[in-house]
Amino acid sequence: MVDANDIEPDTCPRASGMPMLGLGTWQNTDPDQCAESVRTALEMGYRHVDTAQAYGNEDAVGEGIARADVDRDEIFLATKISTANLAHDDVLETARDSLDRLGADTIDLLYVHWPKGEYDPEGTLSAFDELYDDGLIENVGVSNFEPEDLEVALDELDAPIFANQVEMHPLLQQDHVRKACENYDVEVVAYSPLARGQVFEVDELEDVAGKHGVTEAQVSLAWLIEKGVTPIPKATGEDHIADNWEALALELDDEDLDAIDAIERTSREVDPADAPWN
């Protein structure tokens, strides 16, 4: 049995410098619990932490980073500009607010959270270019962008788009989004990589998990990483943080990958009426 504490940070593969397994913090709104989960993950070996203005926990994430016995320059820190803050001047102002809350001088990856609300490709993305040119952000990201949204953003930005963060898991394999991102040299980051618990109820994943003596969560995360996608599962307790980290030790064979690729059941867990795919 693999012990999470035996998996070194450098075991985690990287995509263009980004660790390909991160800690998600959506709904982790209890300040002390959030800070402790971030500290626990970092000291276990995680080096990628994802948050957002809309999560209301940037202060706590910053506190967790401060508590951890890990140098800041080893950590890949990502956050997102809320849809209400996507007007040009609001992007500039609230990005600096996020830096203050996170206790950071720079953000490694700053996302447009959704292409909706106050999002305007020209105004929004020109502000991201300014933040990039000023060195306040290392990389520009987008989230929940369909291929056509991605094409528009690429035309507007001077800075490269580093990543597109979308819901992805074995029940939502996002072939068209992954293909578009591959064509444009954009990394894919997967939120809700465990389909909000649905992966524990899929026969194919149960079979692969049983074969390897691991959990269905680990199978889903290992499958994503094998696809070149960076999962950011949310977890608060040490047991779940460790279980997810242990996915790095799982090697899926071709039979496993084929079985997962062939899953016919589909489930999209995040599906607002005004999402770009609706």
> What residues are annotated to the active site?
55
Compute the CA torsion angle 173, 175, 176, 177 (nearest 10 deg). 60
Largest pairwise CA distance in the chain:
53
Residues whose CB is less than 8 angstroms from the CB of residue 212 and which lie 6 or more positions away in sequence, other chains included: 219, 250, 252, 256
Sign, CA torsion 244/165/15/86: negative
DSSP bridge partners of 112? 81, 142
- Taking the alpha carbons of 73, 22, 16, 176 in that order, is the dihedral positive or negative? negative
Helix axes 216-226, 203-212, angle to 10 degrees: 90
Burial of 183 (0-12, 13-18, 19+ CB in 10 A): exposed
